[in-house]
Amino acid sequence: MGKKSAPAAPDYTGLAEKQGQQQQDLLSQQTWANRANQYNPYGSQTWQATQGTDPVTGKPITQWGQTTTLDPRLQQALNSQFGNQATAGQIGTSMMGNLRSTLGSPVSTSGLNQWGAVPGAITDPYGFGGTRQRTEDAFYKSATSRLDPQWQQRQGDLETQLANQGITRNSDAWEREMGNFGRERTDAYDTAMRGAITGAGAEARGDYASQLAGEGQAFGQQFQGSQLANTLRGLQLNELFGLRNQGINEYNSLMGGSQVQMPSFGDYTQAGMGQATDYMGAAQQGYQGALDSYNARGAQRGQTLGTLGQLGGSAMMAVAF
């Protein structure tokens, strides 16, 4: 019985190259599957494949390009937009000089109407700058012109009465009677003063009401005039700032014109890459199975030879005896 040789090892290099090539072919198929051309009413999106060369390895490769094409009407609008933007840019550049001059100068309000001063409140109620005091003095003077001769006569009569009663001047009785007389006279003049104040106040209020009516009319006219002046001033300021901002608004409007929207394309399910055949794994499993079978047969032959050796030894020992 001849001895069989051990199984030869697989060509791992060749298998790896074969598996790698298959993997590359599957990647190429996946790439082609995911380069779908798309079309809609706004335009199209297409792929182009050209042959190129890998700059590192020098091997041929596939180079991909993508092109978006607009509907002819949209393309015409886009061309017009580019032309308008170029023209707007030139105009905007020429406007910058004027804007720089306008914005570089501080706002001047010279030549504008002045703000109208709001009239103040009517002052000096019931006073009229001393008129009331003069009225009080006149009322009091009128009252005292009657009181003075009365109290002078009463003082003379009281002194005569005290002398006739034997009460001497500067005595306690004299001073007491004259003190009572002085208090009565003071009360009379105080009453006259209060009457003068009350009468002057009443007259002043009447005069004040008349003056208030006149001043109220003047106040209303002055207030309306101040409101008109303030309104005119506000309108002038609005016009001033409007002219100052007009150039900026025109520039922003010019440079921000309408834009042509590029077409958008929907997503689609991307293809996954296929699984290459595992040549390496299959070869390794086959080689390992053959090697295990070879080793098992070798072990069996060794066991058979051992058994035969034992039997031969036993026969030789039997012949010797």
Query: Rounded to 5 degrees, what angle do the CA atoms 154, 158, 163 make?
Result: 150
Is residue 85 classed as helix, strand or coil in its secondary structure? helix
Q: Kindly list the averaged pLDDT for each block of 10 residues, start to end, along the chain of length 321.
A: 68 77 82 87 90 88 88 87 79 72 67 61 51 71 82 86 84 83 82 74 64 60 72 78 72 63 64 62 70 71 66 56 51
Q: What pLDDT score was predicted for residue 201? A: 65
**C-alpha span between 33 and 44 (Å, rounded):** 18
d(Cα 96, Cα 118) in Å, to the nearest integer? Answer: 43
- Which pLDDT belongs to residue 1? 47
What is the three-class DSSP state of 116? coil
Residue 249: count other Cβ atoms within 10 Å of its Cβ: 10
Maximal CA-CA distance, the chain: 209
- Note whether 314 and 53 are within 8 A (CB): no
Closest CA to 70 of 45, 90, 93: 45
pLDDT at 137: 75
Note the pLDDT of residue 318: 54
The pLDDT of residue 178: 80
Whether this model's pTM surpasses 0.75 = no
DSSP 235-280: HHHHHHHHHHHHHHHHHHHHHT---PPPP-----PPPPPPPPP-HH
Where do the domains of the chain lie?
128-255
